[in-house]
A and B are shown apart, each in its own frame.
Chain A
Amino acid sequence: MSTLTPVLSAHWDESDSFTIAGYKRHGGYDALAKALKSTPDEIIALVKESGLRGRGGAGFPTGNKWSFIPQGDNKAHYLVVNADESEPGTCKDMPLLMANPHSLIEGIIIGSYAIRANHSFIYLRGEVVHVYRRVQKAIEDAYAAGLLGKNILGSGFDLELTLHAGAGAYICGEETALLDSLEGFRGQPRLRPPFPAIAGLYAMPTVVNNVESIASVPSIISNGVEWFQAMGTEKSKGYTLYSLSGHVAHPGQFEAPLGITLRELLELAGGVRAGHQLKFWTPGGSSTPMFTAEHLDVLLDDEGVSAAGSMLGTKALQIFDETTCVVRAVLRWVEFYKHESCGKCTPCREGTWWLVQIMKDLEAGKGTEADLTKLLDLCDNIAGRSFCALADGAVAPIISSLKYFRDEYIQHLNQGGCPFDPIASTLFETAGA
């Protein structure tokens, strides 16, 4: 039985957790001082050895990504933090930045030092103005404390940190679209190669990392590789933030070792809302194929979730109980992807436009079983055919819901409408709940 292992979230309950004083009270910025005594290559090696994998969804080893940056090339290097958290269900980076922004700033300084970057950027989702203000203040405080700017802690290392607010586009969470947006262009994914490690921001070698990945680095420096590796599974080391939302008694962020199961997390979260049963859930946000109650014991690490046919993603577990119409939920998601499709490539742009129309008809009970076949065929023509992974995310809920709940679609068709009372699934509805 796994338990919680709060690291990043350990002091979120303290009233000043987001200040330098609050952060330092628990050893904050000690890792930085330690790191600056090592060489950059030693830090890269350490992070590599720890087995830290990207926490933004793809799970790429962070240390490897850093080591791709060519060294001694006399070019400017950049570390860009992807804080464009926008996926339905995903809610870990924003609370982390609200409650513990200095863990990110400390991680950025260490990461920049490791990849020899003297300018770093945080690309923050545009809508979260409160988070923007908090991070901005944290950066100002870090500058004032000599943690940013020239000659950090007397080490001779200089770093400028810029906070940039996006304009509200999900696609800008895709790293090359993010870079385009950061450069002032419309956010659309770039053709790769060249990869950002060779030609990223302003065509210079660039590392793009998720907030949580970078924020995890100081704890590894402070506590050591063995401490980190003691948590997690064979290939997915360490702790991470699982976000539970939806029909769950106590939603929120649960910091636990990788490889915990939903069953365990639900116990920690007080279970599915009282009087109801789990119907389906997403392991890592709306773009990861959904699971059902039969997957309660799937190990929530990259390998475990993949083996079960989905992706760990951002570990955003959205819990839906039996009051939820899966067709309706999927339609909402697909509408999101249609709205967020950047328009660059055909299958995503046109495909999501079409999928929404079909899903709307299906929810209204219009159509025949042949439409389900057509829907799956369209998903097949979209998945893996688009320029970036956005469209793969758009079709994932459709394919997976048809896999587990085909009967429910047919029920809509037979009945000529939705068999569910949408009010019953709302959290504010107590009568039906």
Chain B
Amino acid sequence: MTPEQAVTAVETVTAVIDGVEVTVPKGTLIIRAAEQLGVEIPRFCDHPLLSPAGACRQCLVDVEINGRAFPKPQASCTMPVENGMVVKTQLTSPVAAKAQEGIMEFLLINHPLDCPVCDKGGECPLQNQAMSAGRPESRFEGTKRTFEKPIHISSQVLLDRERCVLCARCTRFSNEIAGDPFITLNERGALQQVGIYENDPFESYYSGNTVQICPVGALTGTSYRFRARPFDLVSVNSACEHCASGCDLRTDIRRDKTLRRLAGDDPEVNQEWNCDKGRWAFKYLTSRERVKHPLVRGADGELHEASWPEAIAAAAAGLKGKRVGVLTGGRLTHEDAYGYSKFARVALGTNDIDFRARPHSDEERDFLAAVVTDLKTTYADIDKADQVVLVDFEPEEESPIVFLRIYRHVRKRGLAVTSNAPLSSRGSKKLNAKLIKNLSELSGLTTQSVILIGERAAETAGILSAAYEIAQSTGAKLAWIPRRAGERGALAAGAIGNLLPGNRPVADTSARVDVQSAWGVSDLPSQLGRSTSEILEALGDESLDAILLGGVDPMDISADALNKLLNTFVVSLEISHSSVTAIADVVLPVAAVVEKSGSYLDWRGVARRFDKGVDDADLRSDLRILSILADEIGKPINLPSITAAAAEIESLGAWDGAKVSFTRRAAAPASTDEFTLVSWRFLLDLGSLQQGETNLAGTAKKARAHISAATAAKLGVTEEDSVVISTDRGSIELPVSIREIADNLVWVPRNSEGSQVIPSLGFTSGAVKVAKR
């Protein structure tokens, strides 16, 4: 055995379960070793990702070690397999079988047996295991314990204490996995119950997982309660559209309507968890605000419903032969982004395309093309990391599953986390993160370290350069984690002015020839495209005639972006009515996530595929519409389907030639303003894909202005007061929260109720005035 093998070799133990020998890694619990043999021992409190509890006692089995039998049956969920162990489960031991039957009978005596009206009925571990491990009839003739049904433990989670079997899965999850110990078991005996704290509501971003892992119908989601029976649902595999974490999801649909979403099981990514936004923010799909039919602005200046041929003709007429810019938002799939990318180059003859519907910089564009396209960092690197550095990145708010992964290692092995941020967020506190104000303060980085850069790094000149340089000099692994699900795919698809699909530099002749031959076109534009802000400027000074928008909210970019769209020809491909559809000349409705298939590239650059679950002939993918539009313009892009696009992406492959070069930018000079605004988004906020889900919104963090104690003293305010933060454009008024933050900074959430910084103040960071209200 070589030293390397010695390190990786797993020590195993061998035991006999129900007469069958099984060899498992040391430390494997009996219940899991039995699973490997196909022996399913009934269980409630056991969960492979939670610490063992041994509370429900349903998994009792007979155990002997080296001929010595335990006098009593043992909980197989708490006992690791040992060499020489002989285990007899309910299949071979009458004692174990009777013990399990007895426990099941006990569990049911205080259970209401209201299965016919319970959401869990039909997919309930208690129901199923009562059938497999229980008595045919109960011997209980007494009085059941009763509680008021159900109580809200948050706006989105309901608790029916009568149904609870007190397995403590929910409380262990909240404590161990989410780091949000907001629920706990109270009282004792049969009156024991899950409870919330008087002053701290169950406002965890991960609370929905407790509903999913509840083995009975005790915890239910408000939005799904009484909506469906499991056997009426059709499940499709899906991927989450809300961020770049890349969660595997299961979407449950009844009669073409999404009724709920569950975390899928992907050990490499989300394990079995997801965040509440991913779980519950899908009401936009069935919202009244959905655009259902094409709209064309008539001679009267109003939008009118139109047939598809009419609308396509109108759009083509407005775009054909014109100087057009293309902006695609962050919601696009890899395939759709590819469609826009090809459409811009082939049908519109331009590289004026940018997916960055947010503050951005040229430094970032070069960084994306030169550096990000090559990054291979994954969750496994976080697992092995000796240090994680967060650069302008708040994982709990901006990529919650990345947060869970880091938190796991902080909890398990005290992983060191350093965060370049103006203040310590709740997420940072949970990660016990050391705060730095400048990347030059970093130390101790090795090739095992991981630097995670958020999209907000583009907002401060020099940060990306500095992070890249540090990674280069230390060998630390780098990752860029955008907030939105579609950005990494859009980058790979070339939905940006300096890259063609497959990371091919626009400026590179051979790269263009590559793409030309693949697309069967004679020529591709060679001039570097404009960035998002340049495209908007160009609309203003009329060096562009028209714009094609795919899922963009101008208020994510700048306060005057919408104004720039007013006097130009606008074609909007949208899911729902918005400020853009209101001013567009042609609005083309598109399919959303379950209404089409496709894939997102998560922050690792790995495809997360999802299937179509809803068949609505009126809703086509962006790609399909663009293909029709290109045909109408007379410059076909030949992408009739998602499959065709995927195949073309596949055959085109990634560029192996020279990369765009990245030149270091100087750091921004320190601000001399009295107050500078800093901000980021909360996970749950006013984002358009969260519209309509009020239960979810109920657990969103409330906006407060964070200022230092010295600033508070200077302004004469306490946490009882509010401050007014203002610029020439407008102001926001928020209650004060006194925190450890530099005296010249004021932090507010970027897009929350009462705190929408771009519309109100005109930017996401910059000089502001702050005064007591």
Contact = CB atoms under 8 A, between A and B. Distances in A.
Nearest to B140: A354
Interface string B473-501: 00000000000000000000000000000
A26 interface: no
Interface string A339-373: 11111111101111110011000000000000000
Interface string B172-207: 000000000000111111111000000000000000
Nearest to A370: B139
A398 to B, nearest CB: 15
B55 A346 contact: yes
Contacts of A351: 106
Nearest to A383: B72
Contacts of B190: 338, 341, 343, 349-350, 352-353
Interface stretch (B97-105, B386-394, B575-583, B612-620): B97-105
A387 interface: yes
A403 interface: no
B568 interface: no
B73 interface: yes
B71 interface: yes
Contacts of B608: none
Nearest to B191: A343
A186 interface: yes
B103 A191 contact: no
A380 B101 CA distance: 12
Contact of A381 (B71, B105, B143, B184): B105
B103 A339 contact: no
B143 A346 contact: no
B188 A342 contact: yes
Contacts of A277: none
Interface string A173-199: 000000000000010000100000000
A384 interface: yes
Contact of B189 (A347, A353, A357, A374): A353
Chain B CB within 10 A, most for which of A191, A345, A350, A358 = A350
A381 B107 CA distance: 12
B107 A384 contact: no
Interface SS majority for chain A: helix
Contacts of B98: 380-381
Interface string B723-753: 0000000000000000000000000000000
A385 interface: yes
A414 to B, nearest CB: 20
Interface string A378-401: 101110111100000000000000
Contacts of A341: 188-190
Interface residues of B, number: 38
Interface stretch (B56-64, B267-275, B706-714, B762-770): B56-64
A109 interface: no
A350 B139 CA distance: 13
A97 interface: no
Contacts of B187: 343
A186 B71 CA distance: 29
B109 A385 contact: no
A353 B107 CA distance: 11
B677 to A, nearest CB: 41
Nearest to B186: A186
B638 to A, nearest CB: 62
A384 B62 CA distance: 12
Interface string A313-353: 00000000000000000000000001111111111011111
A357 B143 contact: yes
B286 to A, nearest CB: 41
A99 interface: no
B142 interface: yes
B110 interface: yes
A191 B79 CA distance: 10
B28 to A, nearest CB: 16
Given A346-B103, A346-B107, A347-B106, A354 B142 contact: yes
Contact of A387 (B55, B71, B185, B188): B55
A387 B57 contact: yes
Contact of A343 (B54, B71, B139, B189): B189
A169 interface: yes
Contacts of B103: 346-347, 381, 385
Contacts of A338: 189-190
B142 A169 contact: no
Contacts of B31: none
B52 A347 contact: no
A35 B159 CA distance: 58
Contact of B165 (A186, A346, A380): A346
A271 B145 CA distance: 45
Contacts of A340: 188-189
Given A357-B142, A384-B72, A385-B72, A346 B57 contact: yes
A358 B72 contact: no
Contacts of B184: 186
Contacts of A347: 57, 102-103, 106
B166 interface: yes
Contacts of A354: 106, 109, 140, 142
A343 to B, nearest CB: 3
B96 to A, nearest CB: 11
A25 B152 CA distance: 64
A342 B60 contact: no
A344 B58 CA distance: 13
B421 to A, nearest CB: 32
B189 A349 contact: yes
A284 B342 CA distance: 86
A346 B139 CA distance: 16
B142 A343 contact: no
Contact of A384 (B52, B71, B192): B71
Contacts of B375: none
Nearest to B168: A344
A384 B106 contact: no
Interface in A144-177: 169, 171
Interface in B107-140: 107, 109-110, 139-140
Contacts of B165: 346
Contacts of A186: 184-186, 188
User: Chain A CB within 10 Å — which of B53, B105, B187, B191 has the most?
Assistant: B105
Contacts of A385: 57, 60, 72-73, 99, 102-103
Contact of B166 (A349, A357, A381): A349
B93 interface: no
A342 B57 CA distance: 15
Contacts of B718: none
B78 interface: yes
A351 B165 CA distance: 13
B57 A374 contact: no
Contact of A342 (B102, B145, B189): B189
A408 B143 CA distance: 26
B139 A381 contact: no
A209 B579 CA distance: 72
A85 B142 CA distance: 32
Contact of B53 (A191, A357, A380): A191
A346 B55 CA distance: 7
Given A186-B185, A381-B98, A384-B72, A345 B191 contact: no
Contacts of B60: 385
A352 B189 contact: yes
Interface string B249-272: 000000000000000000000000
Interface of A: 169, 171, 186, 191, 338-347, 349-354, 357-358, 374, 378, 380-382, 384-387
Given A191-B78, A386-B57, A387-B55, 14 more contacts: A341-B189, A342-B192, A343-B188, A344-B166, A346-B103, A346-B106, A346-B166, A349-B192, A353-B189, A378-B102, A380-B98, A381-B105, A381-B106, A387-B57
8 contacts: A186-B185, A340-B189, A342-B189, A349-B166, A349-B192, A354-B142, A381-B105, A382-B106
Q: What are the nearest 3 A-B pairs in CB distance?
A: A381-B102, A343-B192, A357-B142
